[in-house]
Amino acid sequence: MVPITIRDLEIGTGMPKVCLPIVGHTQYEIVSQTMTIASLKPDIVEWRVDWYDDVLQSENLIEMLKQVRKLLDRIPLLLTFRRVEEGGVQECTIEEYTRVYETAIQSGLVDLVDYELEVGDDALIPLIKHAKDAGITVVVSNHDFEKTPAKEELIRRMEKMIDIDADIPKIAVMPNSNRDVLELLDVTDTIHQKYPDVPIITMSMEGRGIVSRVCGEIFGSCVTFGCARKASAPGQIEADDLERAIKIIHENLYHKDEFENMQ
């Protein structure tokens, strides 16, 4: 996998990088959460701006971005405006959705953006170009909070993301059985093997899918989402527990070679 370098971070090498979300409604909540999250020193911080009450007010958004950026120092910032259709909290038009991202990109204060695949090519392709022209890493995502689509459909969606020039394709699905979790891991491994130079993010949500959040280094998912105080999606693990779990897997993943050398 060819890593993506953002500030002091390489995404796509070693352990999955831990991303923690900011999900405050008000300036006070956002600042408070950002301070707490920054103290935990995660690899990436995601600001879910759809939670912010004033997200559609461009001046307020920029002022809030300045505060968040200052508090995070060198920690990469991922900005995400999730629509209600994909688990977000903010009703918006496509025009409003686009304007939020254009404002964030022009501010020069974000390192990554997350666009929804289902927004459609007419809005998505210009947004991708604008972000890339500004040196911002583009995540293109798709979420299904009801089910895990068939393997072929999930592969089609991820290949669509790659075709439209996403730096990091992302898929999150809801499992209704243990088999669904295995299906998601199979898709992850399939895409990782077929496109070894493309960092990808996948997850199966809620408690049943928890294994997918810790085993990314095995199957090929390069970022995992946890939480500090408040989760932004079902099944997110608290930061300390998440880091401990992926570290245990990382440290034991290659022990077979060590034992063989001892024989």
Average pLDDT over residues 94-106: 97
Position 235 scores a pLDDT of 58
Summarised one tens digit per residue, pLDDT across range 207-238 is 899 999 999 999 999 999 998 865 555 557 78
Per-residue pLDDT, 259: 47
Domain spans of the chain? 4-251
Pairing of strands 112-116, 137-144: parallel
Looking at 25, 70, 130, 143, which residue is catalytic?
143
Q: pLDDT category, 32, cuts 50, 70, 90?
A: very high
Split at pLDDT 50, 70, 90, the class of 204 is very high
Tell me the C-alpha to C-alpha distance, in Å, between residue 142 and each of 14, 63, 114, 128, 246.
25, 29, 10, 15, 24
List the catalytic residue out of 130, 151, 170, 255.
170
Residue carrying the six token digits 């999730």 = 82
At the fourth CATH level, the homologous superfamily of domain 4-251 is Aldolase class I (3.20.20.70)
- Is residue 170 part of the annotated active site? The answer reads yes
Mean pLDDT across 5-30? 95
Q: For 103-158, how does the pLDDT look when each residue is reduced to its tens digit (9 = 90+)?
A: 999 999 999 999 999 999 999 999 999 999 999 999 999 999 999 999 999 999 99
